[in-house]
Amino acid sequence: MSEVTADSIKAIDRAASRGRIDEASREAKILEKAYGEQLQIALAESGLSAPDVLLIGPPRTGTTWLKAVLGDHPDILMATGEPNVLWHAGDGGLFEALRWYARSDVWRGPRKSSGIIADKSPGYIGLSDAAICVLTALLPNLKIVIGQRNETERLWSAIFHRMHDVGFHGTWDQFCIKFKNDVLHELDYGKVHVHINRWRNSLDTKNIFIYEFSEITHDPEHLVSKLLNHISARSICNINSTERSAIIERIRVNPNPSNIGAPPAGFIEAVTTLVS
């Protein structure tokens, strides 16, 4: 079984790397149908593993907070960092990505004997159509979690924090000119409805969980409860008291990022002009 599975993933990669996405997706569907619910077992025998849940909301929509909360849940294996290992899944990098998920040192905390495999990267909202096509053919039950936020507010927060991260001492408009490519990426991430539709073209709508950033502010515990139900993890009330206390404490820590003030008037229009 292990050789067949590994060879099938490599065949998917060969087709994808040559731009034959239809063929790659067809091979992925054949493999998925052959093993069904046993696919993770077949992958494990090949030294591979695949994610069950991806947090892909754009920057400044609360995905880092959600990652921390889910990482404390006893049913969930949350990957550390933002490795972007799936970025090349549609052009020949699927095998290496699945091998990364099988490593024992990539998880937040100790590896659990079983669990929902989760990963978080805002960059995944912009995965290529080819990568989305291949991933969803192989993993039709993949759960996608996407955050939405008022775009003016989100972009202002993203630029403000990016200026702080790189130690930029000029004004925000000077930053937009100097770091044009970064700002262009942020503008693209903000087209959430476009990216959601791209995922919906390949993935069943019931597997896509969309939340509003304001839910984190107004009722974070309810949001987490809805998400746990969506990904088929035990509810907070159904885990032991120690684990429950850790999650509830995590939920209450910084459920609303610091207020950085209102964005300047005509902010998005000004940013677009500056980087055009």
Q: Locate all alpha helices (DSSP H) within the chain, ordered by sequence.
A: 2-17, 21-35, 39-45, 63-71, 94-101, 129-138, 151-165, 172-178, 180-189, 192-200, 213-218, 220-230, 241-252, 267-275
* Residue 117 structure tokens: 């495999």
Whether 69 has a pLDDT exceeding 90, the answer reads yes
Residues 6+ apart with CB under 8 A from 93: 13, 85, 86, 87
pLDDT in tens, 26-57: 999 999 999 998 999 999 999 999 999 999 99
Q: Give the mean pLDDT of 204-210.
A: 96
In this predicted model, what pLDDT tens digit does every residue of 131-167 receive, in sequence order? 999 999 999 999 999 999 999 999 999 999 999 999 9
- Whether 57 and 148 have beta carbons less than 8 Å apart is answered as yes
Among 21-25, 108-112, 215-219, the least confident range: 108-112
Domains in the chain, ordered, with CATH?
2-150+208-264 (3.40.50)
- The pLDDT of 202-209, averaged and rounded, is 95
Q: Within a 10 A sphere around the Cβ of 72, how many other Cβ atoms?
A: 20
- Whether the predicted model's global pTM rises above the 0.85 cut: yes
Q: What are phi and psi of 55, to 5 degrees?
A: -90, 110
- The whole-number pLDDT of residue 252 equals 87
CA distances from 139 to 3, 30, 33, 163, 224 (A): 19, 11, 10, 37, 24
